[in-house]
Amino acid sequence: VTDGYRGPIPLVREAFEATESLGSTTLVLAILDNSTRIHGKLHPMIAVISVGDCELLILRRLHGRSSPLVPVFHTEMQRIDGHVQTPLQLARVDDRIDPDFTE
């Protein structure tokens, strides 16, 4: 990151633009931001991006250190028309593969 953290979408965009390899991938990214302030009060937040069939599950102990871990957040898989074998993907292709593809 060249100019500091500006959120997950600019971070993914910058990473995509910094690569030249052709291909596609799914993506899950979670960033814990301990510096967010709302009305001057510190409010740690988690920023999440999930593209494709990746899933993120956040577990938390709700009643002390000896309590069991329980799910408090999860992302949903993203698939094209709901088909199991067609997850959404980030892709970079060239004219040999698809002359009409735009990034």
Q: Is residue 1 part of a domain?
A: no
Q: Is residue 3 part of a domain?
A: no
User: Which residue type sits at 9?
Assistant: I
Q: Is residue 51 part of a domain?
A: yes
Q: Is residue 97 part of a domain?
A: no
* Own/partner long-range contacts of 21-24 (Cβ < 8 Å, ≥24 apart): 21/92, 22/92, 22/93, 22/94, 22/97, 23/91, 23/92, 24/89, 24/90, 24/91, 24/92, 24/93
How many residues can be counted in the chain?
A: 103
pLDDT at 103: 66
Confidence check: pLDDT of 55 > 60:
yes
Q: Is residue 36 part of a domain?
A: yes
What pTM, to 2 d.p., does this model score? Answer: 0.70
Residue numbers of the domain that contains 12: 8-92
Note the pLDDT tens digit of each residue in 60-97. Answer: 999 999 999 999 999 988 888 878 788 888 888 888 87
Q: Is residue 49 part of a domain?
A: yes
Note the pLDDT tens digit of each residue in 12-39. Answer: 999 999 988 988 999 999 998 888 889 9
Quote the number of domains for the chain.
1
